[in-house]
A = this chain, B = another copy of it.
Amino acid sequence: MPVQKVTREEVIQKSLPVFRQRGYYNTSMTDLAEACGLQKGSFYHYFDSKESLMKEVLGAVSSYFENKIFAIAYDESLLPVERLQKVLDKQIRAVTNTKGGCLMGNTAIETALLTDEFKPIMEAFFDGYVKALAAIYSTQFSAQAANQLAQQAAMEFEGALILVKMSGKEQLLHDAAHRIVERLKS
Protein backbone atom coordinates (compact mmCIF):
# COMPACT_ATOMS: atom_id res chain seq x y z
CA MET A 1 0.00 0.00 0.00
CA PRO A 2 1.41 3.42 -0.91
CA VAL A 3 2.02 5.94 1.86
CA GLN A 4 -0.95 8.13 2.55
CA LYS A 5 0.21 11.73 2.05
CA VAL A 6 -2.63 13.34 3.95
CA THR A 7 -5.49 12.13 6.07
CA ARG A 8 -9.11 12.77 5.36
CA GLU A 9 -9.21 15.12 8.35
CA GLU A 10 -6.26 17.12 7.00
CA VAL A 11 -8.02 17.57 3.68
CA ILE A 12 -11.02 19.01 5.50
CA GLN A 13 -8.87 21.33 7.64
CA LYS A 14 -6.87 22.60 4.68
CA SER A 15 -9.92 23.08 2.49
CA LEU A 16 -11.71 25.17 5.10
CA PRO A 17 -9.73 28.43 4.73
CA VAL A 18 -9.91 28.12 0.94
CA PHE A 19 -13.71 27.94 0.96
CA ARG A 20 -13.88 30.75 3.49
CA GLN A 21 -11.73 33.12 1.47
CA ARG A 22 -12.82 32.23 -2.06
CA GLY A 23 -16.42 31.14 -1.48
CA TYR A 24 -17.99 27.85 -2.55
CA TYR A 25 -18.63 28.34 -6.26
CA ASN A 26 -15.46 30.29 -6.90
CA THR A 27 -13.27 27.63 -5.29
CA SER A 28 -12.05 25.13 -7.86
CA MET A 29 -10.82 21.60 -7.28
CA THR A 30 -7.44 22.91 -8.45
CA ASP A 31 -7.47 25.51 -5.65
CA LEU A 32 -8.24 22.80 -3.10
CA ALA A 33 -5.65 20.42 -4.54
CA GLU A 34 -2.93 23.07 -4.24
CA ALA A 35 -3.92 23.85 -0.65
CA CYS A 36 -3.84 20.16 0.29
CA GLY A 37 -0.77 19.20 -1.72
CA LEU A 38 -2.72 16.65 -3.71
CA GLN A 39 -3.38 15.92 -7.36
CA LYS A 40 -6.91 17.07 -7.98
CA GLY A 41 -7.90 13.59 -9.05
CA SER A 42 -6.89 12.26 -5.62
CA PHE A 43 -9.76 14.11 -4.00
CA TYR A 44 -12.25 11.61 -5.29
CA HIS A 45 -10.52 8.94 -3.25
CA TYR A 46 -11.63 10.82 -0.13
CA PHE A 47 -14.87 12.50 -1.20
CA ASP A 48 -17.61 11.86 -3.75
CA SER A 49 -17.73 15.44 -4.97
CA LYS A 50 -16.91 19.04 -4.22
CA GLU A 51 -20.34 19.30 -2.65
CA SER A 52 -19.82 16.41 -0.24
CA LEU A 53 -16.42 17.81 0.73
CA MET A 54 -18.07 21.15 1.50
CA LYS A 55 -20.66 19.40 3.66
CA GLU A 56 -17.91 17.82 5.72
CA VAL A 57 -16.06 21.12 6.03
CA LEU A 58 -19.24 22.78 7.28
CA GLY A 59 -19.74 19.89 9.67
CA ALA A 60 -16.24 20.32 11.06
CA VAL A 61 -16.84 24.03 11.62
CA SER A 62 -20.15 23.31 13.32
CA SER A 63 -18.60 20.73 15.64
CA TYR A 64 -15.75 23.03 16.53
CA PHE A 65 -18.05 25.90 17.46
CA GLU A 66 -20.46 23.62 19.32
CA ASN A 67 -17.74 21.98 21.43
CA LYS A 68 -15.19 24.74 21.86
CA ILE A 69 -17.19 27.98 21.80
CA PHE A 70 -20.91 27.54 22.35
CA ALA A 71 -20.19 25.10 25.19
CA ILE A 72 -18.76 27.98 27.22
CA ALA A 73 -22.26 29.43 27.47
CA TYR A 74 -23.23 26.52 29.70
CA ASP A 75 -20.13 26.59 31.96
CA GLU A 76 -21.61 27.25 35.38
CA SER A 77 -18.21 27.85 36.92
CA LEU A 78 -18.31 31.29 35.30
CA LEU A 79 -20.60 34.27 35.84
CA PRO A 80 -23.07 34.95 33.01
CA VAL A 81 -21.23 38.08 31.90
CA GLU A 82 -17.93 36.19 31.93
CA ARG A 83 -19.42 33.42 29.78
CA LEU A 84 -20.75 35.91 27.26
CA GLN A 85 -17.46 37.77 27.06
CA LYS A 86 -15.54 34.52 26.64
CA VAL A 87 -17.88 33.25 23.90
CA LEU A 88 -17.64 36.51 21.97
CA ASP A 89 -13.89 36.70 22.45
CA LYS A 90 -13.38 33.17 21.10
CA GLN A 91 -15.72 33.90 18.23
CA ILE A 92 -13.83 37.02 17.27
CA ARG A 93 -10.54 35.12 17.39
CA ALA A 94 -12.01 32.38 15.21
CA VAL A 95 -13.09 34.77 12.49
CA THR A 96 -10.08 37.07 12.58
CA ASN A 97 -7.34 34.43 12.84
CA THR A 98 -7.61 33.78 9.13
CA LYS A 99 -9.32 36.00 6.61
CA GLY A 100 -12.78 35.45 5.22
CA GLY A 101 -15.16 35.92 8.13
CA CYS A 102 -17.72 33.27 9.01
CA LEU A 103 -17.92 30.31 6.63
CA MET A 104 -21.51 29.61 7.70
CA GLY A 105 -22.67 33.16 6.98
CA ASN A 106 -20.75 33.31 3.71
CA THR A 107 -22.14 30.00 2.54
CA ALA A 108 -25.68 30.90 3.57
CA ILE A 109 -25.59 34.02 1.44
CA GLU A 110 -23.93 32.28 -1.48
CA THR A 111 -25.93 29.05 -1.64
CA ALA A 112 -29.17 29.26 0.38
CA LEU A 113 -31.34 30.04 -2.66
CA LEU A 114 -29.55 27.64 -4.99
CA THR A 115 -29.30 24.36 -3.12
CA ASP A 116 -30.78 22.78 -0.01
CA GLU A 117 -27.73 20.57 0.49
CA PHE A 118 -26.05 22.83 3.04
CA LYS A 119 -29.13 24.23 4.74
CA PRO A 120 -29.64 21.65 7.52
CA ILE A 121 -26.12 22.04 8.82
CA MET A 122 -26.17 25.83 8.55
CA GLU A 123 -29.51 26.06 10.32
CA ALA A 124 -28.27 23.74 13.07
CA PHE A 125 -25.21 25.98 13.49
CA PHE A 126 -27.20 29.20 13.88
CA ASP A 127 -29.72 27.42 16.08
CA GLY A 128 -26.91 26.26 18.38
CA TYR A 129 -25.50 29.76 18.41
CA VAL A 130 -28.76 31.44 19.36
CA LYS A 131 -29.55 28.78 21.96
CA ALA A 132 -26.15 29.26 23.60
CA LEU A 133 -26.48 33.03 23.86
CA ALA A 134 -30.11 32.71 24.96
CA ALA A 135 -28.98 30.47 27.81
CA ILE A 136 -26.78 33.29 29.06
CA TYR A 137 -29.35 36.05 28.60
CA SER A 138 -32.01 33.92 30.32
CA THR A 139 -30.17 34.40 33.63
CA GLN A 140 -31.38 38.01 33.53
CA PHE A 141 -34.41 37.98 31.21
CA SER A 142 -37.47 35.91 30.41
CA ALA A 143 -37.03 33.03 28.00
CA GLN A 144 -38.69 35.00 25.23
CA ALA A 145 -36.66 38.16 25.82
CA ALA A 146 -33.48 36.11 26.08
CA ASN A 147 -34.19 34.47 22.75
CA GLN A 148 -34.79 37.83 21.10
CA LEU A 149 -31.56 39.23 22.51
CA ALA A 150 -29.65 36.16 21.34
CA GLN A 151 -31.07 36.44 17.83
CA GLN A 152 -30.20 40.12 17.80
CA ALA A 153 -26.63 39.32 18.82
CA ALA A 154 -26.25 36.76 16.03
CA MET A 155 -27.54 39.24 13.45
CA GLU A 156 -25.32 42.03 14.71
CA PHE A 157 -22.24 39.84 14.68
CA GLU A 158 -22.86 38.47 11.18
CA GLY A 159 -23.69 41.94 9.89
CA ALA A 160 -20.52 43.31 11.43
CA LEU A 161 -18.54 40.67 9.56
CA ILE A 162 -19.89 41.95 6.23
CA LEU A 163 -18.75 45.49 6.95
CA VAL A 164 -15.40 44.25 8.28
CA LYS A 165 -14.81 42.14 5.20
CA MET A 166 -15.42 45.14 2.99
CA SER A 167 -13.77 47.90 5.00
CA GLY A 168 -11.12 46.00 6.96
CA LYS A 169 -12.20 47.82 10.13
CA GLU A 170 -11.96 45.05 12.72
CA GLN A 171 -12.94 47.52 15.41
CA LEU A 172 -16.55 47.18 14.25
CA LEU A 173 -16.49 43.61 15.54
CA HIS A 174 -15.30 44.69 18.97
CA ASP A 175 -17.92 47.46 19.07
CA ALA A 176 -20.63 44.92 18.32
CA ALA A 177 -19.32 42.54 20.99
CA HIS A 178 -19.31 45.38 23.51
CA ARG A 179 -22.96 46.19 22.80
CA ILE A 180 -23.93 42.52 23.05
CA VAL A 181 -22.37 42.31 26.52
CA GLU A 182 -23.86 45.62 27.67
CA ARG A 183 -27.36 44.37 26.93
CA LEU A 184 -26.85 41.57 29.46
CA LYS A 185 -26.08 44.10 32.16
CA SER A 186 -29.19 46.25 31.73
Contacts and interface: CB of A to CB of B under 8 A. Distances in A.
Nearest to A172: B151
Task: Identify whether the interface residues of A are mostly helix, strand, loop, or mixed.
Answer: helix
Contacts of A114: 21-23, 26
B156 A110 contact: no
Contact of A101 (B109, B119, B122, B167): B109
B165 A112 contact: yes
A156 B148 CA distance: 13
Interface string A151-186: 110111111101101110000100110010000000
A156 B152 contact: yes
A47 interface: no
Contact of A165 (B113, B175, B179): B113
A60 B101 CA distance: 27
Given A156-B152, A156-B155, A166 B25 contact: no
Interface of A: 21-23, 25-26, 99-101, 105-106, 108-110, 112-114, 119, 122-123, 126, 148, 151-152, 154-160, 162-163, 165-167, 172, 175-176, 179
